[in-house]
Amino acid sequence: MLRSAAHAEPLGLYLHIPFCLDRCTYCSFATTRDRSLQPETTARLLHQVRAWGAALERPAVDTLYLGGGTPSLLSAAELADLTAALREAFDLSPLTEATFEANPGTVDLPWLRQARDLGWDRVSLGVQALDDVLLARLGRIHGAAQALEALDLAERAGFRRRSADLMVGIPGQSLSKVLGDARTLAATGLDHLSIYLLDLDKACPLRAEIDAGRLALPSEDEVADVFEALQTELPRLGLAPYEISNYALPGGESIHNTRYWERRPYLGLGPSAASQMGDFRWTETSVIPAWTGGRGEVELQELDPAEALAELPLLGLRLHRGVDWAALRTRADALNLRPLTDGWEARLRALVEQELVLWEGDWVRLTARGMLMSNGILQMFV
Ligand code: SF4
């Protein structure tokens, strides 16, 4: 069943590199500072790439994404081996985008040039802020100057496609600082900017500092003001919104990430990596030694047709262009689930009055205000 799903259309392939030089104070990803595991983990990843390529009979892949952790901690030889294994195990002839994430504190020109020569064509840099005090608070291993230098090095290495992450909601971060950082980043000529809200849901050192009263998070209103100001400022800088948290120059949209919002199939390999094909979804263990030793449990979920249908607007409304509602209705009819889409439609139409939703022909999308309140609106599909 998976094999036919994997051949229905090209896949996206995500590889998780779970190593970091140091732990950021807010991080809850499956990563470790224990680099002694790196050779073994990379060898296991190579094995998994080959095994999945063989099991799925060398399916076509049109987007690659090397995430983490810190993929830029791979040695030149590890990156070359991994890239060669990907080319062998999967049909990369339809490849449209090959992204890797990099920490600005770990890149140099020779490594970036090699990555570019190997065919990686897009780099996503975790900048987070351009203020050394805030970066230290986040436990980042780089300062602001190093972040800008990394963007410059990537350009010199031949990366036409460069993205940066900017974080909102950091204790001590002001609106003018975020806007200033956004302007400085846009001036580097990058083609993509992701705006993330600092998420401290899980236990982490920064959460403990806040709970102890030593630091304070900005209020919800302050954070909302920042997001609203960015909605106005970034398009002025040429970076148009195409998803709730993502802005790009024309043609700079992340093709790989867009597949998640379009609910297109992907295979994820590495600790904590998630995959989705057809109505199956699975997540590998986040316990790194267990994954590396091939002992980790895989969490498998089969979505029922109603759950799978609900994911289309749940994810699709994150995109600026929204959802083709006529196509969604047709799909619902084929599944005998029309009452479900009719119910959502009634609720969305009520939100048109409040200027949170726009209905244009067959398409429905969130307005700029709707994007700011998307958490509440999208709850109807959960
Ligand atoms: S670099 Fe990223 S993955 Fe690594 S600790 Fe920091 S936030 Fe976590």
283 CA distance to ligand 1 middle (Å): 20
Peptide bond into 69 cis (omega under 30): yes
Q: Which of 70, 128, 197 to mutate to test the pocket of ligand 1 (most atoms within 8 A of CB)?
A: 70
Q: Which of 17, 25, 27 to mutate to test the pocket of ligand 1 (most atoms within 8 A of CB)?
A: 27
69 CA distance to ligand 1 middle (Å): 5
27 CA distance to ligand 1 middle (Å): 6
* Closest-CA residue to 5 (of 237, 293, 321, 275): 275
* Closest-CA residue to 153 (of 115, 186, 184): 115
Q: Which two tokens stand for residue 285?
A: 């263990």
d(CA 198, CA 348): 29
- DSSP secondary structure string for all residues of 93-162: TT--EEEEEE-TTS--HHHHHHHHHTT--EEEEEEE-S-HHHHHHTT-SS-HHHHHHHHHHHHHTT-SEE
Q: What is the pLDDT of residues 252-305, one digit of tens each?
A: 999 999 999 999 999 999 999 999 998 999 999 999 999 999 998 899 999 999
Taking the CA of residue 23 as reference, the ligand 1 atom at the shortest distance is: 5
Q: For residue 280, what is the DSSP state?
A: E
Q: Which two tokens stand for residue 366?
A: 């969130």
Tell me the CA distances in angstroms from 311 to 85, 308, 318, 341, one per residue in order: 33, 5, 11, 12
Architecture in CATH of 305-382: Orthogonal Bundle (1.10)
| Residue 105 confidence (pLDDT) | 96
Nearest-CA residue for ligand 1 atom 6 is 24
Q: What is the pLDDT along the chain (382 residues), one digit of tens a residue?
A: 788 889 999 999 999 999 999 999 999 888 999 999 999 999 999 999 999 999 999 999 999 999 999 999 999 999 999 999 999 999 999 999 999 999 999 999 999 999 999 999 999 999 999 999 999 999 999 999 999 999 999 999 999 999 999 999 999 999 999 999 999 999 999 999 999 999 998 899 999 999 999 999 999 999 999 999 999 999 999 999 999 999 999 999 999 999 999 999 999 999 999 999 989 999 999 999 999 999 988 999 999 999 999 999 999 999 999 999 999 999 999 999 999 999 999 999 999 999 999 999 999 999 999 999 999 999 999 9
| Residue 29 confidence (pLDDT) | 87
d(CA 307, CA 370): 23
Fold of 2-261: TIM Barrel (3.20.20)
For residue 240, give the 3-state DSSP assignment: strand
Write phi, then psi, for 207 (nearest 5 degrees): -60, -40
Q: Which residues line ligand 1 (CB under 6 A)?
A: 20, 23-24, 27, 29, 31, 68-70, 103, 126
352 burial via Cβ count (<10 Å: 0-12, 13-18, 19+): middle
330 CA distance to ligand 1 middle (Å): 42
d(CA 149, CA 44): 33
Taking the CA of residue 69 as reference, the ligand 1 atom at the shortest distance is: 3
Write phi, then psi, for 361 (nearest 5 degrees): 60, -125
In sequence order, the 6+-apart residues with CB closer than 8 A to the CB of 229 are 175, 178, 179
* Closest-CA residue to 77 (of 43, 33, 124, 122): 43
CB 123 within 8 A of CB 99: yes
Helices 76-89 and 109-117: angle between axes, nearest 10 degrees: 10
Q: What is the pLDDT of residues 291-339, one digit of tens each?
A: 999 998 899 999 999 999 999 999 999 999 999 999 999 999 999 999 9
Q: In the chain, where are the structural domains located?
A: 2-261, 305-382
11 burial via Cβ count (<10 Å: 0-12, 13-18, 19+): buried
Neighbours of 300 (CB within 10 A): 10
161-168 β-sheet, strand order: 240-243, 246-248, 192-197, 161-168, 122-128, 97-102, 61-68, 11-17, 266-269, 274-277, 280-283, 299-302
| Residue 13 confidence (pLDDT) | 98
Q: Which of 24, 135, 140, 146 to mutate to test the pocket of ligand 1 (most atoms within 8 A of CB)?
A: 24
How much is the pTM? 0.96
| Residue 210 confidence (pLDDT) | 96
d(CA 338, CA 348): 15
Nearest-CA residue for ligand 1 atom 2 is 69
Nearest-CA residue for ligand 1 atom 3 is 69
Taking the CA of residue 68 as reference, the ligand 1 atom at the shortest distance is: 3
CB 99 within 8 A of CB 66: yes
CB 297 within 8 A of CB 285: yes
CA atoms 88, 117, 257, 137: torsion sign: positive
9 CA distance to ligand 1 middle (Å): 32
374 CA distance to ligand 1 middle (Å): 26
352 CA distance to ligand 1 middle (Å): 39
Taking the CA of residue 26 as reference, the ligand 1 atom at the shortest distance is: 7
Taking the CA of residue 20 as reference, the ligand 1 atom at the shortest distance is: 4
Nearest-CA residue for ligand 1 atom 5 is 23
219 CA distance to ligand 1 middle (Å): 25
